[in-house]
Structure 1
Amino acid sequence: MIRYAFGIDIGGTTVKIGLFKSNGELVEKWEIDTRKEGNGQYILGDVAQEIENKIKEKGITKNMVIGAGIGIPGPVSSDGTVLKCVNLGWGVFNVEERLGKMINIPVKAGNDANVAALGEMWQGGGNGHKNVVMVTIGTGIGGGIIINGNIVSGANGAGGEIGHIKVVKDEVEICGCGKTGCLEQYASATGIVKECKKVINNYESDSILRRYDELTAKDIFDAAKEGDKLANKLVEDLGEKLGHVFANISCVCDPEVFVIGGGVSKAGNILVNVIKKYFIKNTFHACENTEFKLAKLGNDAGIYGGVKLILNENISR
């Protein structure tokens, strides 16, 4: 009998949903709006309705569905309790129990970055490995740690918060998390541009970067590829911070591969190579051969990871 599973990725704007066969084959994917009004009280009900509708549409019975795995943009404890999710307006409650009662199939929940990392390990850039660290570099910096094929979420669901590793001791500007000196402040897409603006006015040589009214991280990488000295310096500084952090992470969990995703990863090899250079310089000798790969699943990583999450749960029962 063919068995199915649902992967769900709740974002601040849309909820991505995928119907999969248990072998990982994607049958169909679609999106719905994330209704955040009323402190997000309609979100799970909307998801439940979509799942019920799809089961009916496809002529699937509930006993053919292994379950649903769901990624949440916030900390999630091992029992499925969401520990406040500010972006959705959620407080503290058990999302597995609540959604499970609505759809009457097993539900497993995790932090969205961790779940996306699980997806990349299973069907993406980390395929073929069981020990993977994924780092997403976009507007912010997220991360997910997979050891022996399982998410490391930690005691408070905060495992993999790589963007909030402290990298600058004397920073006075406050990060979005409320602390100072976090990696996210310098190495996110926003942070890369901010670092450029700090130095560009005092930079003595000419630079392509002065031509842009609305500078982006992509502009900086493009200029570096053209040989712009300021852009290359900024990329080097970025690589040094990221490489140093990755080296520290490798000494703790010794992954087989780092998978780099998010919008900034589109810079490609120029980003990977500069990170790897400083990683090798700083890491423990036994970790020097750790692989670096770009993520492959893009925005679908979360739904793939959701399915793998519920498949792992099913195997462990």
Structure 2
Amino acid sequence: MNKYCFGVDIGGTTVKIGLFTTDGTIVDKWEVKTNKEDGGNKILPEVCASLEEKMQEKGIAKDEIEGIGIGVPGPVDDDGVVLTCVNLGWGTFNVAEEVSKLTGIANVKAGNDANVAALGEMWLGGGKGHGEVLMITLGTGVGGGVIHNGKIITGTKGAAGEIGHMTVNYEEEDSCNCGRKGCLEQYASATGVVKVAKRILAKSDEVSAIRDKDNLSAKMIFDAAKEGDKLATECVEQLGWYLGAACANIATVVEPDVYVIGGGVSKAGVILLDVIQRHYEKYAFHAHKDKEFKLAELGNDAGIVGAAKLVINE
């Protein structure tokens, strides 16, 4: 095995890049702008140019690079074929082959960004020491990644792990961003919990610290719940109910050792883990109880760490 590898996490605004030794140590990390001009055709050439510059800066030869791993915001199959990335302007093409061609480095692998982040948390973060991991990312939406036996479950079209679009409420009348109704994302994301809070507030005249806020946020709701605010606590309970029940259902199929919770909402901390686990235990099949729920540990580095892991075979 060679000494170094690159982990690349392509986002809609910036591309995060890490240079690693093959034991997982970050040597350097940096960002470049995601240039979406010309249908996103400039993104990969500019990323590869940045990799070349870093190798020259560090005095690293190409034959010292074990490989390049890449996370992208869209479905990716096991061969590195991206099946449309709307946010980047990409259609269907083989990202791994293109990067290999641009860099001259043969070992290039690509994966969906949420799945890759889950792999990173399994390797060096909240799921370290476990081979069966489910990562749930609670941000503007709800993302997920399933790790089985230390490897990403991608599905036939690279879209496995989209737990944010599990239907959890068949009575919902409002549409999710995906066009369906009643998705987990509508209740458990940062935007979803605010929407739930507004519904709860509309049905009550009770005084609450979260009432009449112009820019109500998930953080405000959790902070108020920590202080014992009744309506804020009801919002948190509802989020925990949806997530806990969803995790119990997921366990009947993949039964992870540990659930790793990341994303902006995870900054709420222990109160979030506790409410999810309590509702999980209520609905879990008897053989699936007593699972660990942990906070993600890698933050914004999860994507580059997981991308690096794609090309490292321990």
Q: How far did 1:278 drift?
A: 0.6
Q: Is the 8 A contact 2:4 2:20 kept in 1?
A: yes
- Alignment correspondent of 1:242: 243
Q: How far did 1:213 drift?
A: 1.7
Q: Is the 8 A contact 2:261 2:293 kept in 1?
A: yes
- Alignment correspondent of 1:225: 226
Q: TM-score, normalised by structure 2?
A: 0.98
Q: Could you report, residue by residue, the CA deviation over 1:94-120 in whole angstroms, capped at 9, with x for unpaired residues?
A: 000011100011210000000000000
Q: TM-score, normalised by structure 1?
A: 0.97
> Which residue identity lines up with residue 179 of structure 2 in the other structure?
G
Q: How far did 1:37 drift?
A: 1.4
Q: How far did 1:211 drift?
A: 4.6
Query: Structure 1 segments of 4 or more deviating over 4 A?
Result: none
- Alignment correspondent of 1:287: 288
1:186, 1:38 → 2: CA distance? Answer: 36
Describe how 1:117-266 pairs up with structure 2 within 5 A. 117-266=118-267
The RMSD of aligned alpha carbons is 1.0
1:30 aligns with 2:30: yes
Q: Matched residues, percent identical?
A: 59
1:89 aligns with 2:98: no
- Alignment correspondent of 1:113: 114
1:196, 1:2 → 2: CA distance? Answer: 52
Q: How far did 1:2 drift?
A: 6.0
Aligned length: 313
> Which residue identity lines up with residue 274 of structure 2 in the other structure?
N
> Which residue identity lines up with residue 179 of structure 1 in the other structure?
R
- Alignment correspondent of 1:56: 56
1:55, 1:199 → 2: CA distance? Answer: 55
CA 1:152–1:2 in 2, change beyond 3 Å: closer, same or farther? closer
Q: Is the 8 A contact 2:200 2:235 kept in 1?
A: no
1:15, 1:260 → 2: CA distance? Answer: 23
Structure 1 alignment gaps of length 5 or more: none
Q: Is the 8 A contact 2:14 2:31 kept in 1?
A: yes
1:272 aligns with 2:273: yes
Q: Could you report, residue by residue, the CA deviation over 1:201-260 in whole angstroms, capped at 9, with x for unpaired residues?
A: 331321111152210000000000000000011111110000000001111111110000
2:69, 2:205 → 1: CA distance? Answer: 53
> Which residue identity lines up with residue 32 of structure 1 in the other structure?
V
SS where residue 240 of structure 1 aligns?
helix
2:286, 2:68 → 1: CA distance? Answer: 41
Between 296-305 and 51-60, the greater mean CA deviation after superposition: 51-60
> Which residue identity lines up with residue 143 of structure 1 in the other structure?
G
1:69, 1:166 → 2: CA distance? Answer: 32
